[in-house]
Amino acid sequence: MERVNQTLQSRLPVELRRTCITTLEQANQFLDGYIKKFNDQFALRLNSTKSVYEKQLTQSQINKALTIIENRKIDKGHSLQYHNLHYMIVTSTGADVYFKEGTEVMVIKCLDGKTYANINDKLYNILEIENWEEYSKNFDIIAELKKEKKKYIPPVDHPWRQNSWKLYSSSIRAHLYGTNN
């Protein structure tokens, strides 16, 4: 409103002088036509203004915006491990998708609890593997179980044990023979 008043204060006296208006009645008649001309020149049309407010996000957009993102890698079994569970990557129709071992995966946990995998900027669903095994009985050759290594105990005459052997033998002699040697 202040801008309109400044504009009118600077323009109106000039316009009144140009049209040779000297009385108050002539000025009121002039203003009826001048206001329409002024509004046509400076006013904004109501239809031309657009809303500056953003549209409210849908629930699915909110869920995807408020997420926890962690990076993982595909393992040997074409699956990924997330929070001590193993997951298989599937499409939205439920078909399995296989990726090379070591492929970078961005695991996205949404606000509503759903979990997705983003690989090469493509979003996939993930399903928990219930009976996950490190080796396949049908395809992998299971390595023989390694025998437990026997703990190494050095012999009595080993250089590291000589001092303790001397102490032990002298204590036995003292006990048996009653001497300190």
Taking the whole predicted model, whether its pTM rises above 0.85 is answered as: no
Query: Is residue 50 domain-resident?
Result: no
Query: Is residue 57 domain-resident?
Result: no
Residue 88: how many other CB atoms lie within 10 Å: 19
Return the half-sphere exposure (C-beta side, CA atoms, 13 A cut-off) of residue 67: 18
Residues 39 and 70 in one domain: no
What tokens appear for 168 in the block? 């032990």
pLDDT tens for the chain, residues 1 to 181: 666 667 777 878 888 888 888 888 888 888 888 888 887 877 776 666 677 777 888 888 888 788 999 999 998 888 899 988 999 999 989 899 999 989 999 999 988 888 899 999 999 999 998 887 766 666 656 656 667 888 888 787 777 777 777 788 888 888 787 765 5
* Helix, coil or strand: residue 125: strand
Say how many domains are in the chain: 2
Q: Domain limits at 27?
A: 2-45
Residues 68 and 110 in one domain: yes
Phi then psi for residue 76, to 5 deg, are -60, -30
Query: What is the rounded distance in angstroms from the CA atom of residue 51 to the CA atom of residue 84?
Result: 48
